Amino acid sequence: MVDTLKTVIDDCGTATVTLMRADVHNAFNDDLIWELNTAFSDLGKNDCVRAIVLTGSGKSFSAGADLNWMKAAARYTPEQNMRDAMRLSEMLNTVNNCPKPTLAIVNGAAIGGGVGLVACCDMAIAVENAKFALSEVRLGLTPATISPYVIAAIGARAARRYFLTAERFNAAEARRIGLVSETAPSLQEAFSLAHVFLKNLSAGAPSAHSDAKALIAAVADKDITDDLRTKTAKHIAERRASADGIEGVTAFLEKRKPSWDAKS
């Protein structure tokens, strides 16, 4: 199998994952889906990794599904087609639920599943000339597997427009609707801005990062019931008594950096 992904972990614990199918605009196929799923699963369990940056090689971030791969899938039996679709769904879920902070650097066009991949990351920085589209309906398809993540990022109202019109939109619009966090004039400046994000992340406890992500998933779009209030109270009570909670509060009172931020 040809490597479709490159992963590098630096001395600060930042893992940079680069999509390596530049000749087809980093489109998804079986290999890339498998490698992304494996990479984010492994990095999520790696205690040496503090944060994960995801970007693309070449001119595009990702063109979504490889059309030749999808054409072949159309000839599968219903059972084979379902298994194939579930592998894509599993990969997106693995990226979305990775316990480490994730940051997409959108270096170029993000189309279809590429938009989904951006939406699965906690934060995203796009170069100003990046283009985005949810183009599935123009192929007689729908953005089904990516829809939970994209709708969570941009909301149902924006999804009604862009799922249906399949029109292209720019980085400024992607920021306005919540798909990306920031924009940058160039890729170099996007990586410079990413360092600011990573610097801020380094000040937080790794265990608190993973707990905070789980907290968001548990609380988002939920009614504020007695049960939810009890769960959130239990959550902070446990964090206060945790090793990182004690270290963080003690470090603040002693006017020193906590142990996880000592190198920054």
Residue 26: name the closest of 142, 113, 99 by CA. 113
Q: Is 136 a catalytic residue?
A: yes
Q: Where is 104: in which H helix or E strand?
A: strand 102-106
Whole-angstrom distance, CA of residue 197 vs CA of residue 187: 15
Q: In the numeric block, which tokens belong to residue 157?
A: 């109202």
What is the largest distance, in Å, between two alpha-carbon atoms of the chain?
65
Choose, from 136, 167, 182, 189, the residue flagged as catalytic: 136
Return the exposure string of 218-235: e unless at least 16 CB atoms fall within 10 Å of the residue's CB, then b: eeeeeeeeeeeeeeeeeb
How many whole angstroms separate alpha carbon 111 and alpha carbon 85?
18
Q: In a 3-state reduction of DSSP, which class is residue 7?
A: strand
CA dist., res. 184 & res. 172, Å (int): 10
**Residues involved in catalysis:** 136
